[in-house]
Amino acid sequence: LEAPYNRTINDVATEEGISAATLYNWRKQARGRGRLLPNSSPTTEGWGSAEKFNAVLETAALNEEELAEYCRRRGLYPEQIRRWRASCEQANERSGQETSRQPELSKADRKRIKELEHELRRKDAALAETAALLVLRKKIQAIWGDEEK
């Protein structure tokens, strides 16, 4: 099922004498563990980003003829592979641009954090003062007795 063979489940089931249902279950378990295996979906709409990236990796070293053969076996068009490759390259460029913008964002974040910490300290002090006054009132009432009596 995996590269470089990329055989279908039915081919493997026939050749090895294993039921197709068992192979589908094994493939599902392997995907659950993070293995990149081809999707059984005949259209690429069901393909996830990891499967598309895997297809780009598998076809990176192929010439046009081998790429066409790969696409025929997978039900793809070479143009789809080219678009996916371009998307992968652009994703790397975008992450570099976002990283350079990160310090600007963190400066504003640091200012906001400092303001919030100041407000928290102020409220904490007010709460401590109120608690101290309540404790003091209870002690005074205990020593001098209840004023209401």
Highest mean pLDDT among 11-25, 65-79, 119-133: 119-133
List pLDDT tens digits, range 69-84: 988 888 888 999 999 9
Kindly list the domain boundaries of the chain, sorted by start residue: 1-46
Q: Of 44 and 67, which is predicted with more confidence? A: 67
Evaluate if pTM is beyond 0.85: no
pLDDT over 70 at 110, yes or no: yes
Q: How many CB atoms lie within 10 A of CB 143?
A: 7
SS3 124: helix
Contact (CB, 8 A) for 84 and 55: yes
pLDDT category at 12 given cuts 50, 70, 90 is: confident
